Amino acid sequence: MTDTTTPVAESGSPKPISRGGRWLRFGLLTVWGPGLVVMLADTDAGSLITASQSGAQWGYRMVLPQLILMPILYVVQEMTVRLGIVTKKGHGALIRERFGRFWAWISAFTLFASAIGALLTEFAGVAGVGELFGVSRWVSIPVATAALLALALTGSYRRVERIGLAIGAAELAFLVAMVMSRPDPHAFVAGLKSMPLGNSSYLLLVAANVGAVIMPWMVFYQQGAVVDKHLSVATVRQARHDTAAGAVLTQLIMISVVVTMASTIGKHNGEAALNTVGQIATSLTPYLGHAGGTVLFGLGMLGAALVAAIVASLAGAWGLSEVFGWQHTLNQRPNRATAKFYVTYALAHLVGAALVLASVDLVNLAVDVEVMNALLLPIVLGLLLALEARALPEEWRMRGPHKYVARALCLVVMGFGLYMVPQALGWT
């Protein structure tokens, strides 16, 4: 973490958190939330399919990369926490202020492309879960779209956040599935000692996992969320704890999927096709039964897809509003001042739902989204690092080893993301 002294709390802001029950009440209910929600959204439908393929093909050897991704997730999202709390401005607004309208438009394009791409993946996940239980996508997607549109009309960011956390909690079903799969402790430890990076197939899956870690909408969402939640500089430490807990939780969920697949399909049928929700559930059912293979996996996937849809669409609406100077907040119901913000939020869902309903090849659609996100990473992380170095007061910037480690980790993420592109496009 950045070695900084915490400034005196602002007038009207909550006081620093003390020990005991007050810390629990204030910390968990008042400060925590943005980090947990954005990290649960990071474990979205596309990421879970990637984790499933990783465990089935490479077994426990894919666990260590997931552990390494924990600090990478924290380092990147922690920068958005400081930027949002200290400047009290969203990501798009800061880019426009510091680097001008050209870069603001570039960031708006990357955000729009990433958010719509994420919604395509999430709605595809919702459709896949519905089809597991015999529900047509023409029913499941419109119902999910209506529910997500209604969510934004609650008139409270905190209420939306808590609903998002409740939905995302369904991902804990993957931990239950992992226990049911009865992993071999000795094989697990042996897998932790092996990372065959010289194997191109293994390296490609590692790159796919790394490329799915940081999405442009995650950066925009968490920075916008701490602003809309009115967090003060007195709460930076607790907001960091929220982000760290989220990074650990989301990677534990990814690990649980890897371990479940390694303990079942990976031991018996590592070449099984695992490109869709239905294929994964069908492959798991012989080992975990209907409850484990279909119900638990479907519940976890549905929670992951819905919370990611909430985060991606809100990030898109917040970010575009910041770039174009529109009033934007969930703490006001739609009115003339916030109309453009709410229309953007609604259109993102409607466009995403329509494209998925019109698509006949959801697998290739998900691959295209992953490739696009990988191409956008240099722009997103480059602007984030530049803002951290220029938009924050000196006492809030990274310095010393922390600065160089953070920059190195960002370069690793960008490098692995770009490495994935030629293979995914079939150029090699």
Q: What is the pLDDT of residues 27-67, one digit of tens each?
A: 455 778 888 999 999 988 888 888 888 898 899 999 999 99
Average pLDDT, integer, range 263-286? 78
Confidence of residue 271 (pLDDT cuts 50, 70, 90): low
Nearest residue to 357 via CA among 345, 349, 369: 349
Inside any domain, residue 270: yes
Query: Tokens at residue 305, please?
Result: 């897809």
Inside any domain, residue 322: yes
Q: Which residues contact 170 (CB under 8 A, 6 or more apart)?
A: 299, 300, 302, 303, 304
Confidence of residue 379 (pLDDT cuts 50, 70, 90): confident
- Residue 55 and residue 266 in contact, taking contact as beta carbons nearer than 8 Å: yes
Supply the pLDDT for residue 84: 94
Supply the pLDDT for residue 361: 59
Supply the pLDDT for residue 362: 56
Query: Tokens at residue 41, please?
Result: 């959204």
Confidence of residue 152 (pLDDT cuts 50, 70, 90): confident
Average pLDDT, integer, range 79-98? 92
Inside any domain, residue 26: no
Supply the pLDDT for residue 395: 93
Q: What is the pLDDT of residues 132-144, one digit of tens each?
A: 889 999 999 999 9
Confidence of residue 18 (pLDDT cuts 50, 70, 90): very low
Percentage of the chain exceeding pLDDT 90: 37
Inside any domain, residue 18: no
Supply the pLDDT for residue 114: 82
Task: Count structural domains, the chain.
Answer: 1
Q: Where are the alpha helices (DSSP H) in 133-233?
A: 137-151, 157-168, 173-180, 185-192, 200-211, 216-228
CA–CA gap between residue 310 and residue 363 (Å, rounded): 22
Measuring CA to CA, how many Å separate 392 from each of 244, 366, 367, 395? 21, 36, 36, 8
Supply the pLDDT for residue 389: 93
Inside any domain, residue 84: yes
Q: Is the pLDDT of residue 426 over 90?
A: no
Q: Is the pLDDT of residue 9 over 50?
A: no
Query: Tokens at residue 111, please?
Result: 């955000």
Average pLDDT over all residues of the chain: 84
| Cα 6 from chain centre | 28
Inside any domain, residue 22: no
Q: Which residues contact 222 (CB under 8 A, 6 or more apart)?
A: 34, 35, 38, 77, 80, 81, 84, 243
Q: Is the pLDDT of residue 68 over 80?
A: yes
Q: Is the pLDDT of residue 421 over 90?
A: no
Supply the pLDDT for residue 12: 39
Q: Which residues contact 310 (CB under 8 A, 6 or more apart)?
A: 37, 41, 148, 151, 160, 163, 164, 167
Q: Within 10 A of 315 (CB to CB), how many other CB atoms are there?
A: 31
Supply the pLDDT for residue 316: 87
Inside any domain, residue 14: no
Q: Is the pLDDT of residue 24 over 80?
A: no
Q: What is the pLDDT of residues 188-202, one digit of tens each?
A: 999 998 888 888 788
Q: pTM for the whole thing?
A: 0.85
Inside any domain, residue 8: no
Domain hosting residue 112, numbered range: 32-425
Nearest residue to 57 via CA among 366, 265, 282: 265
CATH code, domain with 124 = 1.20.1740.10
Supply the pLDDT for residue 282: 82
Q: What is the pLDDT of residues 204-231, one digit of tens each?
A: 888 878 877 778 889 989 998 898 888 8
Q: Is the pLDDT of residue 360 over 60?
A: no
